[in-house]
Chains A and B, each alone.
Chain A
Amino acid sequence: MLILLLLVWGMNAFAADGSTEGEIGAAGVVTDVNGSKAKFSEYSDETRGGGIYSDVKLSYDNDDYFLKFKATDIGYATQDYRLDGGIYGKFKYDLFYNEIIHNITEGAISPYSGIGSNVLTYPGASPSQNSATWNGFDYGIKRKQTGGDFRIDLLNPFYVDFSAQSEHRNGILPVGANTGMNSPGNFIELPAPIEYITNNVRGEIGYAAKPVFASLNIFYSDFTNDNPVLYYESIKSTQTDSTTLPPNNDYWRFGFKSSVQLSPNTRVNVNLSNARAESNFDLLTSYLLTGTTAVNLQQSPNSLSSSTFNGRKDIQNYSFVLTSNPVSFLDARVFATYYRTKNNSDQITAVDVNNTTTASAPGFLFTNDLFDYSRGTVGVDLGFRLPDRFYLDTAYHYTDLDRARSDIPGTNDDVYSAELRWSGLDFLMPKISYQRLQRGSTGPTAAALADNFGVDEWLRTFDAASQTADTYKVSVDFFPLDNLDLGIAYKYKNAKYPNTVLGMLNRKTNELDVYGGYAIGSFARVDAYFDLEDTNTYSFLRYFNSTSKDPNPYNPSYVNLNGVSGDTAYNWDMTLKDNTYEYGVDLELYLIPKKLTLKLQYDYVNSDGNDDLTIFSQAALTALNPAANNSNIDTPDYDDYKKSAFTFTFIYAISKSFIMTAGASFEEYKYSDVSLNDYQYVFGSGTSINYLSGAYANPSYNASVVFLTTAYKF
């Protein structure tokens, strides 16, 4: 109704003097794909083998009113419609409908029926191991977003801004379902239904007139999942097992923002907010143990303190920033930020005597930890305008973070940085910078040391462990001629974890970018780029089990401690290498200037990864496989891929209003990875049969696309 009103209002405006413009386009596309259609058209709707895609743009504008309408990919799963309009100086609105598709895997299979629903069953006493008989489906997600924004400027300098969006998300994504705690257990990859609705509403009132800007804002988000639980027939029996899916939740945030100009070159900025996230979920009061035995958590000797979980997190954020240019050669920024989450969720306690790792125990107590954290950061940035157009930027930031975690309950960061750049010549802009992160951490606590056989005495998680990181950057942009621009940028980062004995010890990254563009008179233009990224991560780890109970990496590796079979502990390490380079060339040839143009574009991406493993125990190598040694256990296929795309396009301007393009593109994607190569849908033996459904498998493809487009402007 609102859209009709706005369109009619707009049509009335046509009566006044104004300009109308528009464009109508249509593109006929024929696609031939060998291999994974889903990966080729990951975010597009080309799985039909082509089609006719049409776009429309209409705009009307006069001295008082404007109206714009834009539609793209009409009728396809990537369609987008936007209507913008308003009266200048009074109000404006923006309405939209947008679809986003994400194709993941086409032709996945499962022994289950009911795919797309939250109840999955299979015929017979156990899932068929003959994958040829399974049911086919696709993994992927579709988002449909409807929304708008409305802003009132009538009361300038006061304003009101309101926006709302509703998104419906549906599709199927893979979830894994395991039958038991014993390693490895066995599992099945299930198609889980996605039926989500997310509603976001935002409102803001503000005042903007020198020297003050201030606004109050509120944001509310509501998430609903039609299927909070997935029920599936167990692979170990015909009983119904279950697994939880994301719960409904909502979130609101109140905020105040302000920027006050104290003088022409000094401002104080404030951002204060208070937010709350809540969820509620009816807990599963029973489950299948090892896929066969029903366990009722509300039946003695088990117990459950509550059958409902109410989650609640309160979040506060306070930020103060003072910026100043007190003297001509100095830019200063001083800031302080405090961010805190407080977990006020229910703590649920369950007594479950059926935990299979301690089956002989009289009872097993499970209570969820409430994780929250607080982070305070202060810092000063000083920029010095030096003689001869040099500029030196220096900064120091300090962060103190406390978290409710027993292994690393606190970290503090000192970050020092400096950047020097020069703009003495209008055709040359070099820049060099350095940053040093010095992170200290506390822990582990006694509680952490009592867990997992005490491995936390040596194990540090990389996200919070003590760390030193040095980052160097250098770049030069060079514009020797009006029609020539070149650039090169290099970055090197070396992160070390000095207090870590088990875990990530070192991570090094090299990045190089080279780019340029050259206009060859009025005849042609060429743009090219090259990017290289090389990452090397080293981690040192230890294998041990509940018999050896020996996580101490300083103890030697040994096998059969005390003559007990399978009682092993040994050290091992992994060096992960990820090398990616990509390059591309874009050439435009103006065969007949302003009439006929030929565009040629080539892009290539090559990623080569490797997991270089070393096991410091010959016995362990032999137990793995008699032929195994430290040279042949590595995984050289580590998300390796090569992607190339070549496109040529002829653009013919029949007239100023009518343009036709015709062309073709050829694309190839070759992928290889140790986890997905020679894919098997069923593996294992005896009572440990595992089932996969093909998620992310076989993504390689080669494709040809031929297209013809027409566009008429008026």
Chain B
Amino acid sequence: MRKVVLVLTVFVVVSLLLLSAAFMQKGAEANPGYVGVNTCKGCHEDKYDSYAKSIHSKKAIPNSPANGEGCESCHGEGSAHVEKGGGRGTGIFNFNPMLSAKEKSAKCLACHEDTKYLAFWNMSKHKAEDVSCDNCHSIHSGGDKFLIAGKSETCYRCHKDIKAMGNKQSHHPIKEGKVSCTDCHDPHGEFSRAMIKADSVNELCYKCHAEKRGPFMWEHPPVEENCLNCHNPHGSNHDRLLVMKTPQLCQQCHDGAYHPGTPYTQFQSFAPPAKGTNPAAQLVGRACLNCHNDVHGTNGPSAYGQRFLK
């Protein structure tokens, strides 16, 4: 209890300090010197064409670049660039790696932060890791939603380990194109850990797996608390995305009298050396689930329900 009070006190003090610092900051100022889109088009026709085909060129959208300075809404005034004879990054803003993520993202956020999609970018893990908008999006060469690659391929450019998990034998159909990373995660920022699109892991999973939601009469507490106690949603070597095969997964928690505490060896399988002379129902087939089918919860009667047998 004392520790909780201490931590909460520190939290409140730090918050007050940050809030007081907040009121001492100032905003940015505007700059003149625009040359117009036709000037840009003169040298950068391919870039102009991609802009003209995009949503950014629609005057019907209030505050779009088309209603502002066109190309220069993002790249800044171009007069210095033109006077110096052009050249990559000469006298003009371009999204190059030597600029900070904050500088590059600020260009996009100037318009897009006022939307529900980016309202929480400020607390995004990607922002904290200095990922900028142009790491995933390209206005001039991107595809759907200006993504550099496909929906999940864009994420895999950095999250190689997750891509590798998706190649395992048990996986959500991400590489098959039926599920995408953004079905579960919001890369632009969310309140929950790992930026998932729900207040908890279970509430997220139940959106597609509503049959697991219950509530059930007989519940399995680690299941109710967190699906990730037993499953790895990104991919697994074990069927049904389990982090471990049964019966071993179940035996990590259930060491009771008789079969929960029994070691299951290859002598109890169908295969050599015993060749099926003494197979254990707890090992072969679906192992524990051969009998304890309702591990996600059940409304079964008395002892059968309590032990997830019916």
Q: Name 27 interchain pairs, CB-CB below 8 A, sorted by A.
A: A89-B60, A102-B173, A184-B280, A223-B213, A243-B300, A262-B22, A265-B22, A273-B199, A283-B217, A284-B299, A287-B304, A315-B200, A321-B191, A324-B19, A324-B22, A348-B217, A452-B256, A455-B257, A464-B222, A513-B164, A531-B164, A546-B258, A609-B245, A625-B267, A639-B169, A677-B271, A680-B284
**Beyond A88-B58, A675-B283, 6 extra complex contacts between A and B, CB < 8 Å:** A225-B211, A284-B299, A364-B302, A398-B3, A605-B169, A613-B263
Residues of chain A contacted by B213 (CB below 8 angstroms): 221, 223, 249, 251, 277, 279
Residues of chain B contacted by A683 (CB below 8 angstroms): 270, 276, 279, 284
Mark interface residues in A81-100 (1 if CB within 8 Å of B CB, else 0). 00000011110000000101
Chain B residue, CB-CB nearest to A333? B123
Whether B286 contacts A695 by the Cβ 8 Å rule is yes
* Contacting residue for B279 out of A159, A185, A611, A680, CB 8 A: A680
With A186-B281, A452-B257 given, is the CB distance from A44 to B161 under 8 Å?
A: no
For the complex formed, measure the closest distance between the CB of B133 and the CB atoms of chain A, giving whole angstroms: 17
Whether A511 contacts B161 by the Cβ 8 Å rule is yes
* Contacting residue for A200 out of B3, B207, B229, B263, CB 8 A: B207
With A178-B291, A210-B114 given, is the CB distance from A533 to B164 under 8 Å?
A: yes
Chain B residues within 8 Å of chain A by Cβ, number: 129
Q: Give the segment of A27-35, A627-635, A660-668 that binds chain B.
A: A627-635
How far is it, in angstroms, between the C-alpha of A345 and the C-alpha of B218 when the chains are bound? 11
Chain B residue, CB-CB nearest to A282? B299
Residues of chain A contacted by B255 (CB below 8 angstroms): 455, 459, 502-503, 541-542, 551
Chain A stretch 292-336: residues in CB contact (< 8 A) with chain B? 297, 309, 311-313, 315, 317, 319, 321-324, 326-327, 331-336
For the complex formed, measure the closest distance between the CB of A118 and the CB atoms of chain B, giving whole angstroms: 14
With A63-B59, A463-B226 given, is the CB distance from A264 to B26 under 8 Å?
A: yes
Whether A491 contacts B266 by the Cβ 8 Å rule is no
For the complex formed, measure the closest distance between the CB of B120 and the CB atoms of chain A, giving whole angstroms: 6
How far is it, in angstroms, between the C-alpha of A168 and the C-alpha of B212 when the chains are bound? 16
Whether A692 contacts B23 by the Cβ 8 Å rule is no
Residues of chain B contacted by A707 (CB below 8 angstroms): none
Whether B15 contacts A322 by the Cβ 8 Å rule is yes
Interface of chain B, main secondary structure: loop
* Contacting residue for B14 out of A100, A380, A603, A634, CB 8 A: A380
Residues of chain B contacted by A264 (CB below 8 angstroms): 25-28
Question: For A322, A412, A502, which residue has the most chain B Cβ atoms within 10 angstroms?
Answer: A322
Interface of chain A, main secondary structure: strand
How far is it, in angstroms, between the C-alpha of A266 and the C-alpha of B3 when the chains are bound? 28
How far is it, in angstroms, between the C-alpha of A156 and the C-alpha of B212 when the chains are bound? 39
Whether B207 contacts A624 by the Cβ 8 Å rule is no
Q: Give the segment of B38-46, B77-85, B236-244 that binds chain A.
A: B236-244
Chain B residue, CB-CB nearest to A267? B122
Whether B178 contacts A43 by the Cβ 8 Å rule is yes
Residues of chain A contacted by B200 (CB below 8 angstroms): 315, 317, 339
A443 on interface, CB distance cutoff 8 Å: no
With A275-B203, A455-B255 given, is the CB distance from A676 to B285 under 8 Å?
A: yes
* Contacting residue for B164 out of A247, A337, A582, CB 8 A: A582
How far is it, in angstroms, between the C-alpha of A664 and the C-alpha of B75 when the chains are bound? 45
Chain A residue, CB-CB nearest to B52? A19
Residues of chain A contacted by B31 (CB below 8 angstroms): none
